Amino acid sequence: MRLLARSLCLLLCLALSCATPVQQEIMMADHHEGHHDALPDRCEGIEFDAIAPDEKGIIYFFKGHYLWRGFRGPAELSNGTFNEMDDDHHLGHVDAAFRMHSGDDPEDHSHDHMFFFLNEKVFSYSNHTLEPDYPKDIKDVFPGIPDHLDAAVECPKGECKTDSVIFFKGDKLYYYDIKNHTVEEKQWPHLPHCTAALRWLNRYYCFHGHNFTRFHPLTGHVEPRYPKTTHYYFTKCKEGHSSDTVNCTDPHLDGVASDGKGKIYAFRGEMYSHLDSDHHGWYSFSIDANWKEVHGDVDAVFFHDGKLYIIKDDSVYIYKKEAPYALVEGYPKPLKEELGIEGHVDAAFVCPNEHTVHVIQGQHMKDIDLSATPRNVTKDIPHPFPRIDAAACCPHGVRVYVGTEYFEYKSPTLMAMSKMQPEAHKYTVGEVVPLPFPRVIDATICGPTGVKVLIGSHFYEYKSPMIMVTSKALPEPRKISQDLLGCDH
């Protein structure tokens, strides 16, 4: 879970992703600065009052009048982002906070709202704006939940029994069933006193003092080697796991994999970057952190039948796709035994709802039926590229990545039949159709929410490519560093 500075090199990766929605820029409120102390520095160690992500996946850390946006950057006054906190209700601080997860209940309109708790009151925010008629008494919104809470964290169905919220007060926990409004009380005396709690990348963390402890949301089991120091892992400081640097002069990819349900993994060197549609954003990690058996860089990756396949040298590793990414029993296996081929693999991809993996070896694309036993090459077709770094298949077709360029085909068949390369898409070259932009396009993202066009340090959103082409005016620009990469500058 190391938070590394490699996210800034992910403009290369953005063209292959379905990015999360974006959030409004934060404007610092300066009219309160005169009566606040000097800005606190979380790298010196802080016991946070609350930690919670917003509906766009940006994590906020709260202490007193201040908040920190994301994993790096200085403190800001809380009322610069949640302006009703001081202006109307004089919150000053919060006891607990969480982001609601109730996506399976169409009658619950609070999905993705942020809830803040202070004494006996609860505040509900949507898009950083206080909802009408709030604040309310906690007992009226969450019946059975006590006042003066210590922490809170959402727990979706599948990780908890139902879509729930876990509230912490003293040595007691309260499981609140969002749909049925029932409460189950537990005690975990082995867990430290939590002043804040966070669900991040499907894992649960209790923050206490300057430390944090990872725990299981149902059993309270504490993972080995905890507690750990908060600012060493959850903050971009000079020391700690977030201090690594990267050489951005060689931005090729080793592998790209999409599970077809919003999760995308881009591998490069000893690192991988993860994007999902659950509003977590892009983050970079060591491959060893989640797939420790692989030990470093990979040759190719792809998803099939709910599992992640990783090819490295002459071995195939198969992992369950959900954290903690357990290696399937009996693996790794030799490449020859698993896929019926030998030699170095440059890339591999499986198209949605298909059982054929297309393996790139040199200038050949080999098709292998994953539903067959034993597995053998069913087709061996030359392709028009001297080399391929990575390839991915999505509902719109196939993308082939070579260095800093990518090439598009409507299907693997058309790619194999092609006698020459199609037009290369560079991140510094604009599209060939007339567009309303004053300068060339650096990159594009197409996903379920529409199209994002990246130009310089900003991007623009459209609901569809057709709307983008026919538009006569530019939409509101948004910052790539803040709203896509989760940086603080």
Interval 254-283: pLDDT, tens:
888 877 666 677 787 777 776 654 544 455
Token readout for 181 is 């409004």
Range list of H helices, 209-273: 230-233
How much is the pLDDT for 387? 87
**Phi-psi region for residue 217, left (φ > 0), alpha (ψ -120 to 50) or beta?**
alpha
Q: How far apart are CA 260 and CA 201, in angstroms?
A: 18
Q: What is the mean pLDDT of residues 215-230?
A: 87
How much is the pLDDT for 420? 79
Phi, psi of 483, deg, nearest 5: -95, -15
Interval 119-146: pLDDT, tens:
999 999 988 888 999 899 999 999 999 9
Q: Hey, is 469 helix, strand or coil?
A: helix
Interval 57-89: pLDDT, tens:
788 999 988 888 887 778 888 877 787 665 554
Residue owning tokens 């598009």 = 408
The domains located in the chain, with CATH, are 1-30+252-489 (2.110.10.10), 34-233 (2.110.10.10)
How much is the pLDDT for 6? 34
How much is the pLDDT for 391? 87
Cβ atoms of residues 273 and 5 within 8 Å: no
Is cis: bond before 40, omega within 30 of 0? Answer: no
How much is the pLDDT for 321? 74
pTM for the model = 0.54
Q: How far apart are CA 122 and CA 125, in angstroms?
A: 10
Residue owning tokens 């993994």 = 265
Query: What contacts 24+ positions apart, CB below 8 Å, involve 109-116?
Result: 112/55, 112/279, 113/55, 114/52, 114/54, 114/55, 115/152, 116/50, 116/82, 116/85, 116/91
Q: How confident is the model at residue 104 (pLDDT cuts 50, 70, 90)?
A: low
Range list of H helices, 229-375: 230-233, 287-290, 335-339
Q: How confident is the model at residue 13 (pLDDT cuts 50, 70, 90)?
A: very low
Phi, psi of 359, deg, nearest 5: -105, 130
